[in-house]
Amino acid sequence: MEYLLSILTWEHAPKIENPPVTTDGNKANGQTLLVSDRNKYKSMLIRTYSTVWMIGGFAFLVYMGHLYIWAMVVVIQIFMATELFNLLRKSSEEKQLPGFRLLNWHFFFTAMLFTYGRFLSRELVNTVSSDHLLYKLVSGLIKYQMFICYFLYISGFVWFILTLKKKTYKYQFKQYAWTHMILLTVFAQSSFTVANIFEGMFWFLLPASLIVINDIAAYLFGFFLGRTPLIKLSPKKTWEGFIGASVTTIISAFLLANVMGRFQWFTCPRKDLSTGWLQCDPGPMFKPEHYYLGDWVPHWFPWKDVFLMPVQWHALALGLFASIIAPFGGFFASGFKRAFKIKDFGDSIPGHGGITDRMDCQMVMAVFAYIYHQSFISPHNFSVDAILDQILRNLTYEEQRNLYEQLGEMLGNLCKA
């Protein structure tokens, strides 16, 4: 079991670009033989423990529900920001700029307030709707949320200008640009994960699982069949691993969609910030449809009738993206680390590196899953939920009450007619 886990997690181990020359002669083609690596069992044990804890913790959070997974994403974002902020940090300049590091986090939490305020406004309002005073307060905050966030950003901008010091101009402007790049390429992308969670855990869990499956399959195919290098940025990646992983991921997407689509815990959207059990009409996307294969299969084939969910066809698109495009997020991270001459972004996960090392492909996949859901899955016509969302966001409590009374009069008149 430990050997199998070591294989599945070996790809995520820190890679040494220039292996040290050994004196025992155990080398082949200039690279140290894996069988002669004296530390491999220790590394395997560390990676195995880390992997088991991560899988177990993730499964527990999925069981606990949407709110807990959102909290996990926030923690991941904070760790990623910490790792990336530290890349360009210079202690000599920081000593001359007390409080400058606090400015980075000011921009970070301003972006968090803006992003989650836009994504989760409806869920927040639905959560406090039973309390009149709290409801009015939250509705007002949501209505002016964009102005509040802009004011916070401008205050940070003024703060930055006022803290500029001679001889540190270049360092300060570099940090300012670096902070905005982190918010754009890391925080903004990973925030789409939260939107996917509340649209239905299916749209978070399936894409994330496909990335994991693709990573494992790429290593296994490359380990046993790999001969042809894929890209110079990652010398250990091979075409055989890439193609084998693509086929495996697409097939897995089709099958996993059928399994996950059977559980309302995964398919039902969460419309508030509670943690209770979910019940809903899964909709036509998750209702099996009958397909008669007939002459499409050989006569000896036992299954002439199959039942497939429409979402399984959409899962093929997710699988195709996860296997062909998402890996380029990992290639980007590899090139990024080479540019900064670092092995890993951090050491927060023993045997794996930093949080950023594990999330490179996941961020790319989360954005695609959200855009695909909004473009091809989410209904484009007006729905009751969409209209209520606009009412809650743009009307005061008195205006909403007036609207309710007018609708009551209109319905009363229709009933009399």
Residues 372 and 387 in one domain: no
pLDDT at 1 over 70: no
* Segments forming the whole domain that contains residue 271: 39-97+165-380
Indicate whether 27 pLDDT > 80: no
Residue 222 lies inside a defined structural domain of this protein: yes
pLDDT higher for 180 or 412? 180
Eight-state DSSP code of residue 19: P
Q: Is residue 27 part of a domain?
A: no
> For residue 380, what pLDDT band results from cuts at 50, 70 and 90?
low
Grade residue 14 by pLDDT with cuts at 50, 70 and 90. very low
**With pLDDT > 70 as the criterion, what percentage of the chain qualifies?**
86
- For the cut 80, the answer to whether the pLDDT of residue 280 exceeds it is yes
Name the residue among 193, 211, 185 with its Cα closest to residue 324. 211
**Quick one: which of 281, 287, 279 has its CA closest to 257?**
287
Cβ 67 vs Cβ 275: under 8 Å: yes
> In the structure encoding, which two tokens stand for residue 40, read together?
């491999």
Q: How many CB atoms lie within 10 A of CB 263?
A: 14
Give yes or no: residues 325 and 394 share one domain. no
CA dihedral for 192, 196, 198, 204, sign (positive or negative): negative
pLDDT at residue 22, as a whole number: 42
pLDDT band at residue 383 using 50, 70 and 90 as cut-offs: low
Q: Average pLDDT for residues 154-160, to the nearest whole number?
A: 96
Residue 303 confidence (pLDDT) = 83
0.85 cut: is pTM over it? no
Identify the pLDDT of residue 68: 94
Residue 381 pLDDT = 60
Question: Is residue 33 in a domain?
Answer: no
Average pLDDT over residues 193-220: 92
Of 134-148, 318-332, 380-394, which range is least confident? 380-394
CA nearest to 19, candidates 1, 7, 2, 33: 33
In this predicted structure, what is the pLDDT of residue 295? 79
Report CA-CA distances (Å) from 343 to 21, 239, 324: 18, 24, 25
Tell whether 179 and 288 lie within a shared domain.
yes
Chain position carrying tokens 């869920």: 123
| Residue 29, pLDDT score | 42
Question: CA angle at residue 10 from 8 to 13, to 5 degrees?
Answer: 140
C-alpha torsion 390→392→393→398, nearest 10: 120
Q: Is 31 helix (H, G, I), strand (E, B) or coil?
A: strand
Assess whether 280 and 389 both reside in one domain: no
pLDDT exceeds cutoff 70 at 11: no
Most confident of 76-80, 83-87, 250-254, 396-400: 250-254
Q: Are residues 360 and 403 in the same domain?
A: no
Q: How far apart are CA 355 and CA 347, in angstroms?
A: 8
The pLDDT of residue 30: 42
Please state the domain count of the chain. 2
Q: Are residues 386 and 243 in the same domain?
A: no
Question: Do 333 and 395 reside in the same domain of the chain?
Answer: no
Please tell me whether residues 188 and 234 are part of one structural domain. Answer: yes
Same domain, 58 and 82: yes
Whether residue 116 is predicted with pLDDT greater than 70 in this model: the reply is: yes
The string of DSSP codes covering 339-363 is: HHT-S-S--SBTTTB-HHHHHHHHH
Q: Which of 255, 219, 222, 254 is nearest to 238 (CA)?
A: 222
Distances (CA, A) of 302 to 292, 293, 297, 312: 12, 11, 9, 21
Confidence at 10, pLDDT banded by 50, 70, 90: very low
User: Does one domain contain both 353 and 393?
Assistant: no
Tell me if residue 279 falls in helix, strand or coil: coil
pLDDT tens, position by position, 39-72: 656 666 776 788 788 888 989 999 999 999 999 9
For the chain, counts of helices (H) and of strands (E): 18, 6
**Token pair recorded at residue 410:** 């209109």
| Predicted pLDDT of residue 21 | 42
Percent of the chain residues past pLDDT 90, beyond the cut: 40
Do 215 and 314 fall into the same domain? yes
Give the model's pLDDT for residue 242: 94
Q: What is the pLDDT of residue 17?
A: 41
Structure token pair of residue 79:
């760790």
- 292 shares its domain with 395: no
**376 located within any domain:** yes
Specify if 190 maps to a domain.
yes
Residue 117's pLDDT is 87
